[in-house]
Chain A
Amino acid sequence: MPLKTVKKDAADYLTLEWVLHVKNYKLTLDKTRCVGCQICSLACPKEAIKTQKQPKTQGEKAKRAKVDIDLAKCNFCGICDVTCPYGAIKVALNGSNDLPLLAKETYPQICRDIKVDTRQCDKECTECETACPLSLITVTRTGYDGKPVENLQALTPSQKKRVQINLNIQKEYCPTCRVCEFKCSPGAIKVKKAIEGITTINQEKCPEGCTDCLDVCPITGALVLGEDKKVHVNQLFCDYCGACKNVCPVDEALTVKRTSIHHTPVHSGTWNKALERLTSTADAAKELKIQADQNRRKAVAKRFVLEEKIK
């Protein structure tokens, strides 16, 4: 019996399914979260994911590239799920998101290093909540009695002092753009970018008046329209996802170069290859070298311990 497979392409989501008698594999792409970036198509070990540039209608904003997944090639490994900076793809086995990929340490988790120290927060400030370009942050306040505070103004100053601020960040969807960090005036949030790199725009080749990259960029402030009618990059906020690169009409006008990715330690060929595709051969080699050096150091240390014991 050939495998029963299902592919549904709705307005808001794309689902792929393997329907087995006792098991069910399901991949869901949330189109409302997908920004049409390069990450999943580069990370996929089976080359099952393709991004397609959407045709642009005159006078309208450029559309984000469309992500399509080939059902015949997909093996539901979940690498796209783990790697997607925006958490737009979810892979489930019998409805559970526990991926064997992570359990068996074949693929690292991408580190979204966000540290929040709410003690430094201004009690009335909701700067981060409004600043987050993806609306992932909600600020809640808990009063001295442990109850959520509805109206801050109604409290007495001493009560106000004892109010605790809670920052709820939906980390799994966060691309670590650092916008909140910079907008936070007391400096309560510290964000480390998951992906490091550099995005450059060759101003000579960038066509004047074209704002396609700006239109699709999911991070407010990562790309800015300069006075010269050309787009400039703000490296501070850019998450190096490459959504802009996917729509740029001119070759070589815009380059997105990823140099490193912060991840949990892992020893896996799949990751090495994904890293090479996501960054570059040289950058992947650098990471491998660091890993090898660490291993060597460990081995040497182990040996010296042994020799000491023999003495």
Chain B
Amino acid sequence: MSTPETQKPEEIRVGVFVCHCGLNIAGTVDVHAVADYAKTIPNVVFVKENRYTCADPGQEEIRKAIKEQKLNRVVVAACSPRMHEPTFRRTVAEAGLNSFLYEMANIREFASWCHQNNPVEATERAKDAVRMAVAKVRLMQPLQTIEVPVTNKALIIGGGIAGMNAALDLADQGFKVYMLENTQSIGGHMAALDKTFPTLDCSICIEGPKMVDCARHPNITIFASSELVKVDGYIGNFKVKIRKNPRYVIPEKCTGCGECKDVCPIEYPNEWDMNLGTRKAISVPFDQTVPLIYSINKDYCIECFKCTEVCGERQAIDFNQKPEEVDIDVGAIIVSTGFDVYEPYDMPLLGYGKYPNVITSMEFERLILAAGPTGGKVIRQSDGKKPHSVAFIQCVGSRDKNKYPYCSNFCCMYTLKHVVQLKEKYKEDVEVYVFYMDIRSPGKGYEEFYDRARERGVNFIRGRVSRIDEDPVTHNLTVHSEDSLLGQPIEIEADMVVLATAAIPKKGSADIARILNLSRDANGFFMEAHPKLKPMDAPTDGVFYAGACAGLKDIPFSVSQGSGAASRAATVISKPTWKIEPIISVIDEAKCKSCGVCVDKCPYGAIRLEKPKPAQIITASCHGCGTCVAECPQHAITQMHFTDAQIMAQIRSALEDKPEEKILAILCNWCSYAGADLAGISRFEYPASVRAIRVMCSGRVNREFILEALRLGAGMVLVGACHLPFDCHYISGNYKMKARTDALKNMLTKLGMSPERFRVEYVSAAEGIHYAEVIKEIDAHMKALGKEKIQAENAKLKPILENMLKRKQQ
């Protein structure tokens, strides 16, 4: 690839398109002023305002202008590039221009939406954004997208109902599918349920056939009792390492006859039964287990080898099995890890774990299930008798600011199911109370189901339970609450209390997020690439979500998301090749001294060095974070589309006017830029003194960027990154940045700069409010320091910085 110097000089003709976005931008920003200002910027030959640039007519305007005005650079001043950059890239490409000769100025999320009460400064910020974009676009070079071959196989992580549906859909389309399940059986939570609402059809009866289909399908390979170790590669070409944990039974030889279970003398509590019942040390968690392979739990096994004896010539038992690692290649990954259920041990007022007759809904589910440990009899633990009055308590942990602030989505409905089941089973023999905050039943047939429960004579009491007391002799419980409809405190005596506890992110989500470079929201669920328009896409290309792992969903929604994710994955793996962005690093072989610093710092091991030859980038492995660029002591590496010259141009342009009143923010694309976008989307107001520059990763931030900004007299400098330790989209770019900036900050402070003027902040994509707070804080610091002090400091710093920058450029 050629560097800018070798290109033939051409006349730069920039076209600027200012979008009104209806009133989204035009309502705050004076778009005409911005357009007028754009005309005054050097190299801008054409300016056009559009009501909606992203709509068809708007795009047509761009195409027309490129042809008619012979534009060779395009700037669209509209929304965030995280939203519509791909749209306009396509537009310019359709007009025959290289799609990398276009830049976006974010004047919606970064101007109109976050400074709604300050239209004057918002307009100023918008103008600066356009100027910065033009400064950058001027230096842009045409780039060719890189095509990589695609492995037409998929990996599905988590074999619940969502994952199974995704697997079956993909397998039926003819793709090879690997299913990874960390428990012994696929099926997920649904396999543990008795009935499903609102139709009251048996859960395992409808799920069981699907489970068997998965096992029998020639295109599906199930890895049960296995875990994800490592994922390398990129969209279309993931290299996955899976660890198969030993089950001490050879899957190929086990016939699932269960003779071993009969001779085994040891029982242990069955976690799958919520520890209400037991299972043998060699067993399957439940009868319908798929794949039907027995496992030995070595924690409890006493190694009598009776199972080996009875297994006889089948020889399926191998006590020396070791964990085994398997490598597979896939083109797309679907994450469907599901959820966990909260256990309210830390809510002592409800007495769970202390009083034997206080149970959770999942335990109730196992009690009322005919195949459960009690054979479908609802009995109390304290005396084994049937309860005559049962109180159900809603929102235990959910919708609770101190625990989990969100609504767990399906608890209302499953409690309605429980009360209907209980009433239909024991009729008048049981009195049922439901303590609720609101009954949420938005779904097909759900409200009718609520009516059905009320017709059965269930007592619904609107109020939050304050505490539960137990009679130490009878073990009966007294529920204290308020009836908020009557406005009176109420006490109910019940034989049994069932807590509808919150559904929480799956344990181990953090590990999955780290391995796949996913981000998680404030509650711990996976974050979508876009909450509305890409609900099944992960921010990492080629990774998709299905089911409750990205936000709680009931069964029908999880099923449809499974199919949706399968279809999204098929868009990747059905193609023979996939285009990847050419935003990669390029080494100038003439400058490279083969020192090897880049090889050490590259998070992906994408740089090869054979001394004394210059270092080489492995194009397909390079993810384009730019960490090596910032680290190279020789300045021999360039990141395409984010070159030093381009970013420097943006910095200079941003600080052209009144630099001491500006905050220069360099934000990483995946977390802090997204967080700043969210601040805009959420309409959190913050001072308009900030000028933001987007880089792919904070690891890309050179020391020179900061030095240059301060040389130009910037009031404050902010570097925004993903949270340590694992949030970085490029594994460890934020660590590299931290090491660099820590040293730099020390040096600058010693040179006489106030330490608060240079700041590194970690903002996740979910922390819009945090970003707004940070900017407010920095602005307050800047105001507190005062213009004079900043100018004085800058005057002192300037000669030193100039010297340093000059030396670097030699």
Chain A residues at the B interface, C-beta cutoff of 8 Å: 1-4, 18-23, 45-46, 75, 77, 79, 99-101, 103-107, 267-271, 273
Q: From A21, A45, A46, give the contact of B374 (CB < 8 A).
A: A21
**By the criterion CB–CB under 8 Å, are B367 and A271 in contact?**
no
**By the criterion CB–CB under 8 Å, are B303 and A270 in contact?**
yes
B596 at the interface (CB under 8 A from A): no
| Chain A residues whose CB sits within 8 angstroms of the CB of B305 once the complex forms | 268-270
**By the criterion CB–CB under 8 Å, are A45 and B303 in contact?**
yes
> Chain A's nearest CB lies how many Å from the CB of B210?
27
Name 14 A/B residue pairs within 8 A (Cβ), A-sorted: A1-B362, A3-B269, A4-B353, A20-B269, A23-B373, A75-B268, A77-B265, A100-B267, A101-B266, A106-B306, A107-B265, A107-B304, A269-B303, A270-B302
| Chain A residues whose CB sits within 8 angstroms of the CB of B266 once the complex forms | 75, 77, 100-101
**By the criterion CB–CB under 8 Å, are A106 and B374 in contact?**
no
Bound together, the chains give a CA A19 to CA B306 distance in angstroms of 27
List residues 272-304 of chain B with CB under 8 A from any CB of chain A.
274-278, 281, 299-300, 302-304
**By the criterion CB–CB under 8 Å, are A269 and B304 in contact?**
yes
| Chain B residues whose CB sits within 8 angstroms of the CB of A99 once the complex forms | 265
> Chain A's nearest CB lies how many Å from the CB of B116?
49
List residues 383-406 of chain B with CB under 8 A from any CB of chain A.
384
| Chain B residues whose CB sits within 8 angstroms of the CB of A18 once the complex forms | 269
**By the criterion CB–CB under 8 Å, are B302 and A46 in contact?**
yes
**By the criterion CB–CB under 8 Å, are A20 and B306 in contact?**
no
Q: Which 8 A-B residue pairings sit nearest by Cβ, starting from the closest?
A: A21-B276, A269-B305, A106-B304, A270-B304, A45-B302, A104-B265, A268-B304, A100-B265
B431 at the interface (CB under 8 A from A): no
> Chain B's nearest CB lies how many Å from the CB of A41?
15
List residues 722-776 of chain B with CB under 8 A from any CB of chain A.
none
- Nearest residue (CB) in B for A99 is B265
B242 at the interface (CB under 8 A from A): no
Bound together, the chains give a CA A75 to CA B303 distance in angstroms of 13
**By the criterion CB–CB under 8 Å, are A23 and B274 in contact?**
no
Bound together, the chains give a CA A270 to CA B300 distance in angstroms of 12
| Chain A residues whose CB sits within 8 angstroms of the CB of B277 once the complex forms | 20-23
B381 at the interface (CB under 8 A from A): yes
- Nearest residue (CB) in A for B360 is A1
**By the criterion CB–CB under 8 Å, are A101 and B363 in contact?**
no
| Chain B residues whose CB sits within 8 angstroms of the CB of A105 once the complex forms | 306
**By the criterion CB–CB under 8 Å, are B363 and A106 in contact?**
no
| Chain A residues whose CB sits within 8 angstroms of the CB of B302 once the complex forms | 45-46, 75, 77, 79, 106, 270
B428 at the interface (CB under 8 A from A): no
Bound together, the chains give a CA A268 to CA B265 distance in angstroms of 11
| Chain B residues whose CB sits within 8 angstroms of the CB of A268 once the complex forms | 304-306
Given contact pairs A45-B302, A75-B300, A23 touches B265 in the complex (Cβ within 8 A): no
**By the criterion CB–CB under 8 Å, are A21 and B381 in contact?**
yes
Bound together, the chains give a CA A104 to CA B374 distance in angstroms of 24
**By the criterion CB–CB under 8 Å, are A1 and B278 in contact?**
no
Bound together, the chains give a CA A105 to CA B281 distance in angstroms of 16
| Chain B residues whose CB sits within 8 angstroms of the CB of A19 once the complex forms | 356, 381
> Chain A's nearest CB lies how many Å from the CB of B717?
50
**By the criterion CB–CB under 8 Å, are B374 and A22 in contact?**
yes
Given contact pairs A1-B343, A77-B266, A22 touches B303 in the complex (Cβ within 8 A): no
Q: Max chain A CB contacts within 10 Å: which of B302, B305, B353, B360?
A: B302
B264 at the interface (CB under 8 A from A): yes
Bound together, the chains give a CA A46 to CA B278 distance in angstroms of 19
B521 at the interface (CB under 8 A from A): no
**By the criterion CB–CB under 8 Å, are A1 and B275 in contact?**
yes
Tally the A-B contacts, defined by beta carbons under 8 Å.
85
Q: From B264, B268, B304, give the contact of A271 (CB < 8 A).
A: B304
**By the criterion CB–CB under 8 Å, are A1 and B274 in contact?**
yes
B212 at the interface (CB under 8 A from A): no
| Chain A residues whose CB sits within 8 angstroms of the CB of B448 once the complex forms | none
State which size class the interface on B falls in: 20 to 34
**By the criterion CB–CB under 8 Å, are A1 and B363 in contact?**
yes
**By the criterion CB–CB under 8 Å, are B363 and A21 in contact?**
yes
- Nearest residue (CB) in A for B366 is A21
List residues 292-325 of chain B with CB under 8 A from any CB of chain A.
299-300, 302-306, 309
- Secondary structure dominating the interface of B: loop
> Chain B's nearest CB lies how many Å from the CB of A209?
44
| Chain A residues whose CB sits within 8 angstroms of the CB of B268 once the complex forms | 75
| Chain B residues whose CB sits within 8 angstroms of the CB of A100 once the complex forms | 265-267
B263 at the interface (CB under 8 A from A): yes
Bound together, the chains give a CA A279 to CA B176 distance in angstroms of 56
| Chain A residues whose CB sits within 8 angstroms of the CB of B379 once the complex forms | 21-22
> Chain B's nearest CB lies how many Å from the CB of A217?
31
> Chain B's nearest CB lies how many Å from the CB of A83?
13
- Nearest residue (CB) in A for B306 is A106
> Chain A's nearest CB lies how many Å from the CB of B362?
8
Bound together, the chains give a CA A273 to CA B276 distance in angstroms of 32
Bound together, the chains give a CA A273 to CA B305 distance in angstroms of 11
Bound together, the chains give a CA A179 to CA B267 distance in angstroms of 40
Bound together, the chains give a CA A308 to CA B362 distance in angstroms of 65
Interface string of B252-273 (1 = CB under 8 A from A): 0000000000011111110000
| Chain A residues whose CB sits within 8 angstroms of the CB of B278 once the complex forms | 20, 23
Bound together, the chains give a CA A276 to CA B381 distance in angstroms of 41
> Chain B's nearest CB lies how many Å from the CB of A12?
24
Bound together, the chains give a CA A77 to CA B264 distance in angstroms of 11
Q: Max chain A CB contacts within 10 Å: which of B264, B267, B360?
A: B267
Bound together, the chains give a CA A287 to CA B263 distance in angstroms of 24
**By the criterion CB–CB under 8 Å, are A20 and B275 in contact?**
yes
- Nearest residue (CB) in B for A44 is B302
| Chain B residues whose CB sits within 8 angstroms of the CB of A101 once the complex forms | 265-266
- Nearest residue (CB) in B for A72 is B299
> Chain B's nearest CB lies how many Å from the CB of A252?
32
Q: From B265, B309, B343, give the contact of A2 (CB < 8 A).
A: B343
**By the criterion CB–CB under 8 Å, are A3 and B275 in contact?**
yes
Bound together, the chains give a CA A4 to CA B276 distance in angstroms of 10
Bound together, the chains give a CA A4 to CA B359 distance in angstroms of 12
> Chain B's nearest CB lies how many Å from the CB of A74?
10
> Chain A's nearest CB lies how many Å from the CB of B374?
6
**By the criterion CB–CB under 8 Å, are A104 and B264 in contact?**
yes
| Chain B residues whose CB sits within 8 angstroms of the CB of A104 once the complex forms | 263-265, 306
| Chain A residues whose CB sits within 8 angstroms of the CB of B275 once the complex forms | 1-4, 20
- Nearest residue (CB) in A for B268 is A75
> Chain B's nearest CB lies how many Å from the CB of A75?
5
| Chain B residues whose CB sits within 8 angstroms of the CB of A23 once the complex forms | 267, 277-278, 373
Bound together, the chains give a CA A79 to CA B274 distance in angstroms of 27
Bound together, the chains give a CA A247 to CA B710 distance in angstroms of 76
| Chain B residues whose CB sits within 8 angstroms of the CB of A269 once the complex forms | 303-305
> Chain B's nearest CB lies how many Å from the CB of A89?
16
**By the criterion CB–CB under 8 Å, are A273 and B367 in contact?**
no
| Chain B residues whose CB sits within 8 angstroms of the CB of A46 once the complex forms | 302
- Nearest residue (CB) in B for A24 is B381
Q: From B265, B274, B276, B373, give the contact of A103 (CB < 8 A).
A: B265
- Nearest residue (CB) in A for B297 is A75
> Chain A's nearest CB lies how many Å from the CB of B319?
9
| Chain A residues whose CB sits within 8 angstroms of the CB of B360 once the complex forms | 1
Interface string of B436-464 (1 = CB under 8 A from A): 00000000000000000000000000000
> Chain B's nearest CB lies how many Å from the CB of A306?
20
**By the criterion CB–CB under 8 Å, are B309 and A267 in contact?**
yes
- Nearest residue (CB) in B for A23 is B278
Q: Max chain B CB contacts within 10 Å: which of A21, A46, A75, A107?
A: A21
Bound together, the chains give a CA A105 to CA B305 distance in angstroms of 11
Q: From A20, A77, A106, A267, give the contact of B276 (CB < 8 A).
A: A20
Q: From A3, A21, A45, A75, give the contact of B367 (CB < 8 A).
A: A21
Given contacts A19-B381, A104-B263, 19 further A-B contacts (CB under 8 A): A3-B275, A4-B353, A18-B269, A19-B356, A20-B269, A21-B367, A21-B373, A21-B379, A22-B276, A22-B277, A22-B374, A23-B277, A23-B373, A45-B302, A75-B300, A77-B266, A79-B302, A106-B265, A270-B304
| Chain A residues whose CB sits within 8 angstroms of the CB of B373 once the complex forms | 20-23
Bound together, the chains give a CA A196 to CA B263 distance in angstroms of 31
> Chain A's nearest CB lies how many Å from the CB of B189?
14
- Nearest residue (CB) in B for A21 is B276
